[in-house]
Amino acid sequence: MSVPTSSVSALPAPGEAAGRRRHRRWLVPAAAAGLAVVVGAVGTVALLPSGDEMPTGDLPGWRQVFTEDFDRDVPLGGFFADSHYGQHWDGYEDLPDTSGEGTYRTNDVISVQDGVMDMWLRTEDGVPLVAAPIPTVDGQWGGHAYGRFEVRFRADPVEGYKMAWLLWPDSDEWAEGEIDWPEGRLDRGMYAANLQVGQPGVFDLVTDQVATFDEWHVATTEWTPEGVTFYLDGEQIGFSDSSPSTPMHWVLQTETAYGKPPADSQGHVEVDWVTIYEME
C-alpha cells in the first residue's frame, strides 16, 4: 500500500521511470586516512556557506553514524586521492550509466569548494560524464538494514541529465528492493519512488513531481520495518509500506536521462551536506 502526498506537477513523463535497473558495480578503492565524523549524543550544528545548518547528533530512535559537510576543498579529479574523502567515499568508475549513453567518471566529475560538493556534468570527447558517489560509514563498503538518509542539494536545470539517488541492495539483487529519492530530470522536477519487494521493476509508490531542482532543498528518507517515508524540507511527501529487509547502500547516482544529452549541455549538481542514521 502506498500513500503519496504531493504539491506540484504531474507524474513522471512516460518512460521516465522505466528501465530502472542501474549499473551498480564497484568501484574505486578508498585512500587511507582519517575518520568520518561520527556523532554520539545530541551535539552542535555547523553553519554552511549556503546558509543552512547540518544536523549533528542523535535523534529519537536514530543514531547518527555519518556526517559530511565538505569542509576540505579539492580540485576536479582529486576527490578520491584526498586523505579524507578517499577514506569515506566510494563511487562508480568507468562504467556505463543506466541509459548506456553516459559514463560514470565520478572522480573526474566531482570537486569540492566553499563547503559544497560540485558534480560538473558535461560531455568530453563525445562522452557524457556522470557521477555516482557513495558515502561509506566508518570507511567500510556496504550498507545496513533500515536507516535515515538526509541530504541538502540543488542542481542547474541541465538538459539531458537526471538524479536517481537511491538505496540499493548490497547483494545487487533487484528483487530485494529499491528506494529512490530524489529522482527526476534536472530540467523538470523531482519525485520519490519505492519498488515492491520481490517484484523487480514494479512500483509500490511513485509520487507526483514535488519541486524543481534549482533551489536548495533537503531530502530525507526514513526506512523502517514498517515502511519507507519520504520528506522534502521537513514535509512528508509520501509513504510506502513495502519495506526492504536486507542491507542497502546509498548512491547519489547522477546520470543521463535515458538518451544522449546535447553535446553543449552542461551544468552543476551541488551537495551541501550528507548525513546517515541507523535505527537504535
Q: Cα separation of 42 and 25, whole Å?
A: 36
Question: Do residues 66 and 276 lie in contact, with contact meaning Cβ atoms separated by under 8 Å?
Answer: yes
Find the Cα–Cα–Cα–Cα dihedral 250, 92, 161, 263, rounded to 10°: 170
Longest dimension (CA), the chain: 50
* pLDDT (tens digit per residue) in 20-57: 444 333 333 333 233 233 233 333 333 334 457 899 99
Q: What is the pLDDT along the chain (280 residues), one digit of tens a residue?
A: 444 443 333 334 333 443 444 433 333 333 323 323 323 333 333 333 445 789 999 999 999 999 999 999 999 999 999 999 999 999 999 999 999 999 999 999 999 999 999 999 999 999 999 999 999 998 888 999 999 999 999 999 999 999 999 999 999 999 999 999 999 999 999 999 999 999 999 999 999 999 999 999 999 999 999 999 999 999 999 999 999 999 999 999 999 998 899 999 999 999 999 999 999 9
Neighbours of 80 (CB within 10 A): 22
CATH of 2-41+56-279, one of 3.40.50.720, 1.10.40.50, 2.60.120.200, 2.130.10.10: 2.60.120.200
Cell numbers standing for residue 37: 565524523
Q: Length of the chain in residues, anyone?
A: 280
